[in-house]
Structure 1
Amino acid sequence: MLKSIDNQLEKHGITNNEFSELLLRLMDYGVLCRDESQREQLLYDRYLRLEELVNEYLSVLCIRTQHDTRFQFVRLYPPGSEIPGMADENDPPFKTGLRSRLSKYEVELVLVLRSQYEKALKEGLVDENGCATVSLESLNIAMKNLLKKSLPANVTQRKDLFRSLKQLRLIQYRKEEDVESGEAWIRVRPMIVSYVTDQVLDALQPLIDSKGIDAAPESVVDTENTES
């Protein structure tokens, strides 16, 4: 297998170190978004050249990939995960390794972000990259309306919360200082759909309206995701 990998890398003009860098980045972050940074653009373009080889390598570990060519992102899924648009595996999910669980506060924010993304979709307010832009103020209002809660008042907690979702490539913003001041504009990425599907969102709406997140089942959000 190693000889075959070396042959394919040589064919594409990629070194072993560059291949290792790509794999380590994918395994470490669990996701690549081309528009996130210059480095991720470079790694995503490298993935395009080596997609078949990378997927074959990861399949040995029973790790599957979701590659959205339209919005140019790649996301890894551990064994047993449900992937939008792909058939489920028979292997039961495991709870360690690549998997990490979202905190209660992260679940709440993901739900609100998903509802705001759906609203932007219906109003045609997504950009060419499939992203919806919402203000921190409108996000806080939506959280109060949907969940009867507010974003963390503690600055450190708020920054940590948004940083976690940024590392998952669910959102994008320029400076943490903006989040601190409450004046930030947040870009919600289309990847949010894979965390809360349309079907779940429709089923969840009455629960959100009447009882809030505490009454919602744990399964409403893909809480177990690749570690970032």
Structure 2
Amino acid sequence: MTMRESLEQALAEKDLGLNQFQTLIQRLLDYGIICRDESQVEAELYDLFLRIETLVDEYLAFAGIRYFHEPRFEYVRLVPPGSQLPGVDDETEDAPFNQGLRAALPPALVAVVMVLAVEYEKALREARVDERGLANLSLEALSLSLKNLLGRSLPDALQERKALFRQMRQLRLVRMSAEADLLQGDSWLQIRPMILTLVSPDVLSQIEDHAGQSIVIGDADDTALESTGPRDNSSVDSGAGE
């Protein structure tokens, strides 16, 4: 029996077809993450993942790809080579750091995500996280924190700011209303719990210990932020996850 035939037989036992398995795998590889509360499409894919997690695990393991599943907040995320995530052993510490699932991210995006992680940690300490693991933050508070912690600012141009927040939504790091005015400080966003799977505790400590001082963020900073997901943002529209 071929591998395909074996997979089809295992899926048939769960009343599923190969096309459903392929859709799930393709979505994971394209976006790097599936969040149940993101959209109806992702809710259905996440529920499908729960039904066939063993098969997904075996398939990805065969390809040398790891994933992290957080059932409490209902998301599954692919793990870039060399990453260290809670509950996930690093089995690829000798793997190259600049290929495959690891995608280089713009310094401006790295800076904002690092600050969002600090704010999320603060919300956890102050019990300001809801039952879904979401923490509310205003754009004004984000701007002040970005300035105080890293000495940086959000982009002034609307299009640049839209691109920045679109990337964060694609990475499933924040939720925002489609009607939110990104130039108004009283607009709000919600920080997702998976933010802490991208920024290590060491980096968070460094940011807080050097608040207000200059911290270099750029291509040389390989440990600040690790990403999976769309590698060509120009090919992904603002409706990622719809």
TM normalised by structure 2 equals 0.86
**Residue 104 in structure 1 maps to residue 107 in structure 2:** yes
Match for residue 188 of structure 1 among 175, 180, 191? 191
Shift of 1:124: 0.5
Structure-2 separation of matches of 1:213 and 1:73? 31
Q: Distance in 1 between matches of 2:23 and 2:165?
A: 26
**Does structure 2 retain, via aligned residues, the 8 Å contact 1:136–1:186?**
yes
The corresponding residue for 1:142 is 145
Query: Which of these residues, 72, 95, 99, is aligned with residue 98 of structure 2?
Result: 95
Cα distance in structure 1, aligned partners of 2:159 and 2:130: 30
| 1:23 and 2:59 correspond | no
Taking the aligned partners of 1:182 and 1:154, their CA distance within structure 2 comes to 14
Comparing 6-15 with 212-221, which one deviates more in the overlay? 212-221
Q: Which is richer in helix?
A: 1
Answer whether contact 1:62 1:79 (CA < 8 A) is retained. Answer: no
Amino acid at match of 2:100: G
Unmatched runs of 5 consecutive residues or more in structure 1: none
Which residue matches 1:63? 65
> Aligned partners of 2:168 and 2:106: how far apart in 1?
11
Q: Deviations over 1:125-159 (max 9, x none)?
A: 00101110101111111111112221110111101
The TM-score, its normalising length taken from structure 1, stands at 0.91
**In structure 2, how many angstroms separate the alpha carbons of the residues matched to 1:57 and 1:149?**
42
The CA RMSD over aligned residues, in Å, is 1.9
SS at match of 1:86: coil
How far apart are 1:189 and its partner, in Å?
A: 0.5
2:116 to 113, 117, 126: 113
8 A contact 1:117–1:188 mirrored in 2: yes
Kindly report which structure 2 residues correspond to 1:47-58, keeping only aligned pairs within 5 A, or say none.
47-58=49-60
With over 3 angstroms needed to count, the CA separation of the structure-2 counterparts of 1:115 and 1:23, relative to structure 1, is: same
Amino acid at match of 2:137: V
Task: Tell me, in whole angstroms, the C-alpha distance in 1 between the residues paired with 2:103 and 2:62.
Answer: 21
Displacement, 1:220?
4.6
Of 97-106 and 60-69, the range deviating more from structure 2: 97-106
Within 5 Å, give how 1:137-216 maps onto structure 2: 137-175=140-178, 177-207=180-210, 209=211, 211-214=213-216
State the Cα distance separating 1:205 from its structure 2 match.
2.1
Distance 2:123 2:203 in 1: 18
> How far apart in 1 are the matches of 2:196 and 2:179?
24
> Are 1:117 and 1:132, in contact at CA under 8 Å, matched by a contact in 2?
yes
Where 1:108 maps in the other structure, the secondary structure is helix
| Matched-pair identity in % | 44
Matched residue of 1:202: which SS?
helix
Alpha-carbon distance in structure 2 between the residues aligned to 1:215 and 1:75: 24
Once the 2 structures are TM-superposed, how far is the Cα of residue 176 of structure 1 from its aligned partner? 5.7
CA distance in 2 between partners of 1:187 and 1:128 (Å): 13
Q: Which runs of 5+ in 2 are unaligned?
A: 231-242
* Aligned mates of 1:168, 1:103 — CA distance in 2: 13
| Distance in 2, Cα, partners of 1:165 & 1:3 | 39
Contact persistence 1:78–1:99 (CA under 8 A) = yes
CA shift for structure 1 position 32: 0.4
Shift of 1:113: 0.3
Distance in 2 between the 1:215 and 1:101 partners? 12
Q: What is the aligned residue count?
A: 226
CA contact (8 A) 2:81 2:102 kept: no
Match of 1:83 in 2: 85
